[in-house]
Copies of this chain bind each other. A is one copy, B any other.
Amino acid sequence: MAGFDKVVNSYAEAMEGIKDGDTIIAGGFGLCGIPEGLINEIKRKKTQDLTVVSNNCGVDDFGLGVLLHDRQIKKIVASYVGENALFEQQLLDGIIDVELTPQGTLAEKMRAGGAGIPGFYTATGYGTPVAEGKEVKEFNGRPYILEESITGEFAIIKAWKADRYGNLVFRHTAMNFNPMAATAGKITVVEVEEIVEPGELEPSQIHTPGIYVNRVIKGNFEKRIERVTTSK
């Protein structure tokens, strides 16, 4: 790999270096905008004792949920895990540990992790179980809690298009957590629908600059939909 060409050609290469005990930051909201192939590669590699940071944990047989079958996940940091019966079972059985984190706090923790901000204050969660053990500080008479940033050994990201330099563009609401997650990984791997040449993406319309991205792979996506709702 010379210069800034970040394209890799196999999933093995894409997830090279992942090891037991790693923290994985994953983009996606529900099943929307998730790096399907990278998740499957982690399943294939049978990496154990993972801490997964992601808004959700997929469903039983799709998305991050597939990592539950072989008990690859030790802990998950998420805002909502309600779509996943296996998850709930493992939680009740004490196999998996969960740190429920408000959605906006989670997004901001990832952003802060990437931005060199180790902690920030938010009113979100003050006075609730989320605040337990956290420092409280008043600003202008209102109490806020201190939340710490999150980083991980790997970030796994789904984007629409990438150029070879790793500049990313996301499509519609499949953007969601992906841009923040992309900044918070020590190694950030991106699975995309289309790889283009540098210069094809308009510079001021790039959602994630390539500086955050280490590896890019072209994937094939099932794009399963959780709730198809239509109007006539």
Binding site for B on A (CB under 8 A): 108, 112, 115-123, 137, 139-140, 142, 144, 148, 170-172, 175, 203-205, 207
Closest Cβ of chain B to A109, distance in Å, is: 12
A interface majority secondary structure: mixed
Can you list 7 residue pairs at the A/B interface with Cβ under 8 Å? A117-B120, A117-B121, A119-B120, A119-B137, A139-B148, A172-B204, A175-B204
Closest Cβ of chain B to A171, distance in Å, is: 7
Residues from chain B with Cβ under 8 Å of A112 in the complex: 120
Q: Which residue of B lies closest to A140 (CB)?
A: B118
Residues from chain B with Cβ under 8 Å of A175 in the complex: 204
Q: Are A121 and B122 in contact (CB under 8 A)?
A: no
Residues from chain B with Cβ under 8 Å of A121 in the complex: 117-120
Q: Are A108 and B117 in contact (CB under 8 A)?
A: yes
The distance in angstroms between the C-alpha atoms of A140 and B119, with both chains bound, is 11
The distance in angstroms between the C-alpha atoms of A122 and B119, with both chains bound, is 8
Residues from chain B with Cβ under 8 Å of A142 in the complex: 118
Q: Are A123 and B116 in contact (CB under 8 A)?
A: yes
The distance in angstroms between the C-alpha atoms of A53 and B114, with both chains bound, is 26
Q: Using A108-B115, A172-B203 as known contacts, list a sample of 20 further A-B pairs with CB atoms less than 8 Å apart, ordered by residue number in A.
A: A108-B117, A112-B120, A116-B122, A116-B123, A117-B120, A117-B121, A117-B122, A118-B121, A118-B140, A118-B142, A118-B144, A119-B121, A119-B137, A119-B139, A120-B121, A139-B148, A170-B204, A172-B204, A175-B204, A204-B207
Residues from chain B with Cβ under 8 Å of A205 in the complex: 205
